Amino acid sequence: MKTRWIQPVTLAGTHSILEPLSLDHLDGIKEAVKDGELWNLWFTSIPSPEKAEAYIKTALDMRENAGAMPFIVREKGTGKIIGCTRYFNMDEANQRLEIGYTWYAESYQRTAVNTECKYLLLSHAFEKLEAIAVEFRTHWHNLKSRAAIARLGAKQDGVLRNHTKSADGVYRDTVVFSIINLEWPVVKQSLEYKLKREV
């Protein structure tokens, strides 16, 4: 039997811990999305508290049937759940994957948490999984997300016009970014510098 490319793993930094998502995290996710009422952002797919269980079950189904690896994000000092993120769109044959489905409680946005979580995920992808490229995608209208991805050191590959249709039938233009393995050493250095300044 072939071993899954991405195995469950816990990644820990100075400010945050990423651990594999489970239904045991339901109450923490419900509380985290209430911080800023994140489900009201029309250009994201963050669940309302009532839809959090279905959100987790969908993520776990992606893990079992599509090789994805969803994580919850904890604040390291308190253990409080403050967000979610995910490896998905795995292409093991070509050693490519995507990082996405990322959101943080509003009070933790624009803090060192996002930089550190991406640092942990990218380090694992390039140094342990030996990925040759890591991709990020976001809604054209999600300007904060686009800016945050660019700050990581990812380069914009292009825009997929009319890429996907939302639940209300509106088409989304998707902006695609990536970091390749040859760029990782300088991106890593940049992220480590940012983390020192964000402490």
Q: What is the pLDDT of residue 60?
A: 97
Q: What is the pLDDT of residue 122?
A: 98
Q: What is the pLDDT of residue 2?
A: 54
CATH of domain 11-198: 3.40.630.30
Q: What is the pLDDT of residue 43?
A: 63
Task: Specify whether the CB–CB gap between 35 and 105 falls below 8 A.
Answer: yes
Q: What is the pLDDT of residue 117?
A: 96
Q: What is the pLDDT of residue 197?
A: 85
Task: Specify whether the CB–CB gap between 11 and 120 falls below 8 A.
Answer: yes
User: How far is Cα 53 from Cα 83, in angstroms, rounded to an integer?
Assistant: 14
Task: Specify whether the CB–CB gap between 139 and 145 falls below 8 A.
Answer: yes
pTM: 0.92
Q: What is the pLDDT of residue 3?
A: 65
Determine whether 91 is exposed, middle or buried from the number of CB atoms within 10 Å of its CB (0-12, 13-18, 19+).
middle
Q: Which helix or strand (DSSP H or E) is residue 1 part of?
A: none
Give me the residues of the chain with pLDDT under 70, please: 1-3, 42-43, 199
